Structure 1
Amino acid sequence: MKGKQYSGGCLCGHIRFTAHGVAANPHSCSCDNCQRHSGAPSLCWVEFPKDVVEWTGTGGMPALYRSSDYSSRSFCPRCGSTLGAVDDAPMVALVTGSFDDSDLSELRPVSHSYVDACPAWWEITKAV
């Protein structure tokens, strides 16, 4: 496959992925599904076409939970790590915290969905 290669996986290493090409639509989301899926007030995502994402770990493809009419949330069946979402459309959305190198500039969110669903305390105004 051509293009840049991104790799990552779950906490225990059972589920691994490699994605090729351009990371699309880097964004954060604070909808109820994202909050419950991650256990955090917001979740950061990046999308790839399904045909450029390979599930390379010994666990194969992650476990799926049907979370909406158009998408299933993905997670490791062994350690429970959140990995992303596999949409009915030809897209896979991967959470940026699961990437081996999550500090890449192309993974930085450029928009935030459902920002009004964040808890009032979410905005951090002082660095620690």
Structure 2
Amino acid sequence: MTAIIHTGGCLCGDIRFEATGPADNPHNCSCKFCQRHTGALTAAWVEFSRDNVRWVGPGGAPATYRSSEISSRAFCPTCGSSLGAIDDAPTIALLVGTFDQIDSPELIPDHHSFEDGKPDWA
């Protein structure tokens, strides 16, 4: 069985990735960290083992900002696009909107974290 390779990247194309399955924990999140990182009320995420993510664009690995005791947020230093979170655990969580093909069944969120962080009108 051939592993699925998911590709994606930032707005300007400087930061590109290849993520090889299995994808894990596809979910939406409405915590304040995700809201501030993305500028959206809800972010869609999917996780991969760090060993299964390669940064293949001309810009190499994304820039990071230490956002908590366990994680750093990843972004393109050229265009500022949010890409995901690089956790201290061997996990990289990528924002689903950064993938080239967002319709893969592996990327469909199956639960919502911090749903109480959404405003009532959303």
User: Given the two structures, how large is their TM-score scaled by the length of structure 1?
Assistant: 0.93
Give the alignment's Cα RMSD to 1 decimal. 0.7
Q: How do 1:34-53 residues align onto structure 2 when only pairs under 5 Å count? A: 34-53=34-53
Alpha-carbon distance in structure 2 between the residues aligned to 1:76 and 1:89? 22
- The CA distance in 1 between the partners of 2:52 and 2:116, in whole Å, is 33
Q: Helix, strand or coil: the match of 1:6?
A: strand
Query: 5+ unaligned residues in a row in structure 1: which ranges?
Result: 123-128
> Between Structure 1 and Structure 2, whose CA radius of gyration is higher?
1
The runs of 4+ residues in structure 1 deviating greater than 4 Å are none
Separation of aligned partners in 1, 2:116 and 2:21: 32
Length-normalised TM-score, structure 2: 0.97
Partner residue, 1:126:
none
Aligned equivalent of 2:12: 12
Cα-to-partner distance string for 1:59-93 (whole Å, 9 max, x where unaligned): 00000000000000000000010100000000000
Matched with 2:58 is 58
Question: Share of identical aligned residues, percent?
Answer: 58
1:22-59 CA-to-partner distances (Å, cap 9, x unmatched) read: 11000000000000000000000000000110000000
In structure 2, what is the Cα distance between the partners aligned to 1:51 and 1:105? 22
2-side partners of 1:98 and 1:12: how far apart?
11
Pairing 1:94-109 to 2, within 5 Å after superposition: 94-109=94-109
